[in-house]
């Protein structure tokens, strides 16, 4: 009888171990799968999925959201730029305001009253702050307007007071623009042809605009493509205290 009871206990114990083992293995597989998922998610940070169809087969790969590089000296413009007409037809998308104006006076000098009106359209949407935008940027804007047949240029973003100080938008020296009916690639290529040095030009395929800026003194020209969408990676902006890093707003004159 004693031997029979002992045999039953051994069988019961073995059965319990056999049931516990699959559970332990399943838990281990689940942990392994979770870890692999986390590693994959981590490795995908800063990338986006890009798909194309080749010979009827869809192929996808992950590419960097931001791709940038310095512009080689050989790619920069050697000849001086021709003077633009000075005409500008601009609509600020975020403000729903537009203006048609010429940035020059009859004698060829800058029209400060016209520049002041453009500064108003370039004002920070979040804070309402106005700064004197770099006049050379307005000349590039006029060249772009001339190049594409006098079509209205839509301003996505101009001066941004609620922005990091490293941004050229914060220094009133940058613009994000697009033109209805014109590809941003064509606009980007033309903007590149205007760069004789010290300019930054970015392509934003997802958001559908190009960025044009003048770099800080001594900073080399730069090119980039940004595939992130509107507002990606940006939290709620906080209003900054004035740092006098940009020129005060121009006052319209008669």
- Give the three-state DSSP class for 89: strand
Average pLDDT over residues 15-42: 50
Burial (Cβ within 10 Å: 0-12, 13-18, ≥19) of residue 209: buried
Q: Are 122 and 175 in contact (CB under 8 A)?
A: yes
Q: Which residue has the higher pLDDT, 5 or 134?
A: 134
To the nearest 10°, the Cα dihedral for 33, 39, 45, 51? -50
To the nearest 10°, the Cα dihedral for 77, 220, 147, 65? 130
pLDDT at 30 over 90: no
* Band of residue 41 on the pLDDT scale cut at 50, 70, 90: very low
Q: Are 181 and 208 in contact (CB under 8 A)?
A: no
pTM of the predicted model as reported, rounded to 2 decimal places: 0.72
Q: DSSP class of residue 241?
A: P
pLDDT in tens, 69-116: 999 999 999 999 999 999 999 999 999 999 999 999 999 999 999 999
Give the pLDDT confidence score for residue 52 in this predicted structure: 77
Cα angle 78, 84, 89; round to 5: 135
Give Cβ neighbours of residue 194 (< 8 Å, ≥ 6 apart).
77, 81, 140, 143
Give Cβ neighbours of residue 68 (< 8 Å, ≥ 6 apart).
202, 222, 223, 224, 225
To the nearest 10°, the Cα dihedral for 111, 147, 201, 155? 60
pLDDT in tens, 113-152: 999 999 999 999 999 999 999 999 999 999 999 999 999 9
Distance CA 103, CA 86 (A): 5
Domains and CATH numbers, the chain: 85-226 (3.30.1380)
Q: Are 128 and 94 in contact (CB under 8 A)?
A: no
pLDDT at 186 over 80: yes
Q: Are 122 and 138 in contact (CB under 8 A)?
A: no
Averaged pLDDT score across all residues of the chain: 83
Q: Which candidate, 170, 226, 179, 235, places its Cα nearest to that of 202?
A: 226
């Amino acid at each position: 009888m004693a031997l029979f009871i002992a045999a039953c206990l051994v069988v019961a114990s073995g059965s319990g171990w056999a049931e516990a083992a699959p559970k332990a293995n399943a838990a281990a597989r689940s942990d392994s799968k979770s870890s692999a998922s986390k590693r994959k998610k981590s490795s995908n940070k800063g990338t986006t999925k890009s798909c194309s169809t080749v010979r009827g087969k869809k192929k996808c790969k992950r590419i960097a959201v931001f791709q940038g590089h310095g512009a080689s000296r050989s790619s920069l413009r050697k000849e001086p730029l021709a003077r633009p007409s000075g005409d500008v037809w601009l609509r600020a998308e975020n403000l729903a305001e537009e203006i048609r104006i010429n940035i020059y006076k009859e004698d060829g000098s800058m029209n400060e009253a016209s520049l002041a009106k453009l500064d108003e359209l370039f004002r920070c949407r979040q804070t309402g702050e106005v700064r004197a935008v770099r006049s050379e940027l307005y000349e590039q804007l006029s060249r772009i307007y001339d190049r594409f047949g006098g079509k209205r240029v839509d301003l996505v973003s101009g001066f941004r007071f609620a922005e990091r100080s490293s941004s050229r938008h914060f220094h009133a020296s940058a613009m994000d623009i697009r033109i209805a009916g014109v590809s941003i690639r064509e606009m980007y290529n033309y903007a590149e042809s205007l760069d004789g040095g010290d300019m930054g030009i970015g392509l934003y395929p997802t958001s559908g605009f190009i960025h044009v800026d003048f770099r800080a003194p001594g900073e080399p020209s730069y090119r980039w493509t940004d595939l992130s969408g509107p507002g990606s990676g940006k939290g709620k902006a906080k209003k900054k205290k004035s740092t006098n890093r940009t020129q005060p707003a121009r006052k319209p004159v008669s």
